[in-house]
């Protein structure tokens, strides 16, 4: 990535670009890679703004010291038949380049499965903390103020990031009463321990006591949702859609997914922004929370088998769901004979509300790239946008649903309480991987 950015500095002027206004933009692993530039020692002059979607500086388990990764590297070289060339030098490079791609892939996957839970609980192919290109885990470096100053940041996550994974494993609705049963609690724990949180049994009990239908009724509600697919109708408003906190018709499977979503996305993002405010001040950092489903002609175009279509009316706001809005591909040509707009090859007729959200997100993202502020008055169409304030001392977040609403932490008390729990657990010595 840094090599590409150096080329941009040298050559982008020839294409009409401005090397003093470079924005790096990524989603998921791409978001992590983008945010990691904050702490790469040589990357400072190469970029000016970052957009990190669903990939904050949080997955500490993906970063390993070089001495832990070296044995894995040597096993990989040996398995590919290249150990005879030594473990460095041009002969080794030539041998690895000559290896069939499918052989490299199969050996790599086998090693990852064998090593999972050892040097790196989520895998063995994350960045190496080598003391040169990466001097520590990015989140810890940012918390210590050891990152490039004077940048601008736009980052956030989706409200139901990993919920479809739980829906696949738990195909039937989960009542409020059953959500407190040992089987449901064990399922909840299995998503976060030990790969994402190294916590003892006492902490596990505290987690299960926190994530309950009584404490978080907004995660146990009926399938009601508005026509635009705004999951705030289902979750996040602090009120049940059915008139009671957790009635017999409620489905509490979002409750099972919540610890994983919080650890991997919600709380890691909050820590990143709080560190930013501590060291960089209240401006230049803008946080969002995306809460819109992709209901399209009554179905969900991004999940085969309609896993989330059959749940909550298809209004699940999962991982990647913001992408068609950000890139305005709601109207992409399917390549078929149909005149209907599409996502990929899935023919859709999108609602006016979905189109309105997509156009607004394009304006926010491009305005941020141009000015460092997503709703700067100089940007085209800025007058049509809801003002997006910086995260600042108040912890403001722009909720993106069928409407754009600026929220304070008190308006999403569930997330605030949950993140306080995980932050406290980490402060007490547990390894929370964000």
pLDDT surpassing 70 at residue 145: yes
132, part of any domain: no
**Residue 114's pLDDT band (cuts 50, 70, 90):** confident
pLDDT at 193: 79
On whether both 319 and 335 belong to a single domain, the answer is yes
Strand partners, 377: none
Do 89 and 162 share a domain, yes or no? no
**Which range of residues forms the domain containing residue 12?**
2-59+145-156
Answer whether 231's CB lies under 8 Å from 212's CB.
Answer: no
Neighbours of 426 (CB within 10 A): 18
Mean pLDDT of 276-299: 87
Say if residues 38 and 155 touch (Cβ distance below 8 Å): no
Is 200 within the bounds of a domain? yes
Give the mean model confidence (pLDDT) for residues 87-114: 88
CATH of the domain at 289: 3.40.50.1820
284 and 389 share one domain: yes
Residue 390 has pLDDT above 90, yes or no: yes
**Same-domain pairing of 151 and 162:** no
Cβ proximity of 319 and 311 under 8 Å? no
Q: Are residues 110 and 230 in the same domain?
A: no
Q: How confident is the model at residue 306 (pLDDT cuts 50, 70, 90)?
A: low
Spell 288-313 as b/e; 16+ CB within 10 A means b: bbbbbbbbbeeebbbbeeebbbbbbb
pLDDT of residue 12: 96
Among 118-127, 173-182, 372-381, the least confident range: 118-127
Confidence of residue 301 (pLDDT cuts 50, 70, 90): low
Report the pLDDT value the prediction gives residue 305, as an integer from 0 to 100.
Answer: 53
Q: Where are the alpha helices (DSSP H) in 26-65?
A: 29-36
Torsion sign, CA atoms 315, 320, 326, 330: negative
From CA 316, how far away is CA 164, in angstroms rounded?
8
Cα radius of gyration (the chain): 23
DSSP for 191-250, written as a single string: TTTTTTEE--HHHHHHHHHHS-TTT-GGGSB-S---TT-BGGGTSSSSS-TTSSSS-TT-
Three-state SS at 400: strand
Q: Return mean pLDDT, the chain.
A: 83
- For the chain, the domain total comes to 3
pLDDT top residue among 5 and 346: 5
Range of lowest pLDDT (272-281, 324-333, 373-382, 424-433) = 324-333
Sheet with 285-290: list strands edge to edge: 23-27, 49-53, 152-158, 285-290, 397-400, 404-407
Q: Give the CA distances from residue 67 to residues 104, 128, 131, 403, in Å, rounded to whole numbers and listed in that order.
A: 22, 9, 11, 49
Burial of 19 (0-12, 13-18, 19+ CB in 10 A): middle
In percent, the amount of the chain with pLDDT more than 70 equals 80
Any domain includes 361: yes
Q: Based on the domain organization, do 187 and 121 belong to the same domain?
A: no
Task: Tell me, yes or no, whether 245 lies in a domain.
Answer: yes
* pLDDT confidence of residue 48: 98
Residues 115 and 179 in one domain: no
Residues 355 and 427 in one domain: yes
Task: Tell whether 205 is covered by a domain.
Answer: yes
Chain segment 226-274, per-residue pLDDT in tens: 434 454 433 333 333 333 444 567 899 999 999 999 988 999 999 999 9
Residue 304 binned pLDDT confidence (cut-offs 50, 70, 90): low
Do 81 and 48 fall into the same domain? no
- How many angstroms separate the CA atoms of 395 and 410, rounded? 10
Residues 111, 152, single domain; the answer is: no
Burial class of 165 by CB neighbour count within 10 A (0 to 12, 13 to 18, 19+)? middle
pLDDT-derived band at 21 (thresholds 50, 70, 90) equals very high
For residue 145, count other CB atoms closer than 10 A to its CB.
12
**The residue to which tokens 């020692």 are assigned:** 41
Q: Which of 289, 272, 318, 4 is nearest to 143 (CA)?
A: 272
| Tokens at 390, concatenated | 């910086």
pLDDT of res. 77: 92
The pLDDT of 19-33, averaged and rounded, is: 94
On whether residue 138 sits in a domain, the answer given is no
* 131 assigned to some structural domain: no
Average pLDDT value for residue range 110-116 = 72
Find the mean pLDDT for residues 136-140.
Answer: 88
152 and 168 fall within a common domain: no
- d(Cα 371, Cα 358) in Å, to the nearest integer? 20
Same domain, 152 and 263: no
Tens of pLDDT along 37-66? Answer: 999 999 999 999 999 999 887 565 567 788
161-171 per-position pLDDT tens digit: 989 888 888 88
Query: Is residue 298 very low, low, confident or very high in pLDDT (cuts 50, 70, 90)?
Result: low
Check residues 184 and 351 and name the one with the higher pLDDT. 184
Hey, how many other C-beta atoms are within 10 angstroms of the C-beta on 93?
A: 12
d(Cα 1, Cα 286) in Å, to the nearest integer? 23
Nearest CA-CA partner of 68 in 10, 123, 13, 132: 123
Confidence of residue 302 (pLDDT cuts 50, 70, 90): low
In this prediction the pTM is 0.87
- Output the pLDDT for position 343: 47
- 300 in a structural domain: yes
């Amino acid at each position: 990535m840094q090599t590409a950015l150096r080329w941009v500095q040298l050559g982008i002027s020839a294409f009409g670009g401005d090397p003093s206004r470079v924005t790096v933009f990524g989603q998921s692993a791409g978001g992590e890679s983008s945010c990691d530039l904050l702490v790469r020692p040589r990357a400072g002059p190469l970029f000016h703004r970052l957009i990190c979607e669903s990939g904050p500086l949080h997955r500490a388990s993906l970063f390993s010291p070089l001495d832990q990764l070296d044995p894995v590297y040597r096993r990989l070289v040996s398995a590919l038949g290249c150990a005879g060339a030594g473990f460095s030098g041009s002969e080794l490079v030539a041998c690895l380049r000559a290896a069939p791609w499918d052989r490299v892939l199969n050996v790599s996957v086998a090693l990852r499965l064998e090593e999972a839970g050892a040097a790196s609980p989520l895998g063995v192919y994350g960045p190496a903390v080598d003391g040169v290109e990466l001097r520590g885990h990015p989140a810890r470096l940012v918390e210590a103020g050891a990152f490039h100053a004077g940048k601008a940041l736009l980052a956030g996550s989706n409200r139901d990031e990993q919920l479809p994974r739980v829906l696949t494993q738990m195909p039937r609705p989960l009542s409020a009463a059953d959500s407190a049963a040992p089987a449901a609690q064990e399922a909840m724990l299995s998503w976060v321990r030990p790969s994402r949180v190294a916590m003892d049994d006492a902490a596990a009990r505290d987690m299960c006591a926190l994530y309950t239908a009584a404490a978080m009724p907004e995660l146990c509600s009926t399938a009601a949702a508005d026509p635009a697919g705004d999951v705030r109708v289902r979750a996040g408003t602090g009120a049940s859609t059915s008139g009671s906190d957790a009635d017999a018709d409620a489905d509490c499977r979002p409750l099972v997914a919540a610890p994983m979503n919080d650890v991997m996305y919600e709380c890691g993002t909050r820590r990143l922004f709080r560190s930013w405010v501590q060291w960089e001040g209240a401006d230049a950092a803008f946080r969002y929370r995306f809460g819109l489903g992709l209901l399209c002609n009554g179905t969900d175009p991004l999940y085969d088998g309609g896993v989330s279509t059959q749940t909550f009316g298809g209004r699940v706001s999962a991982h990647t769901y913001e992408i068609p809005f950000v890139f305005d591909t709601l109207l992409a040509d399917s390549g078929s004979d149909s005149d209907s707009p599409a996502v990929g090859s899935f023919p859709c007729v999108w609602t006016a509300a979905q189109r309105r959200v997509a156009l607004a997100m394009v304006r926010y993202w491009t305005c941020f790239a141009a000015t460092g502020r997503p709703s700067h008055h100089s940007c085209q169409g800025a007058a049509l946008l809801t003002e997006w304030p910086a995260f600042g001392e108040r912890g403001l977040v722009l909720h993106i649903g069928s409407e754009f609403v600026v929220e304070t932490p008190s308006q999403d008390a569930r997330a605030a309480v949950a993140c306080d729990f995980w932050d406290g657990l980490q402060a007490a010595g547990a390894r929370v991987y964000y």
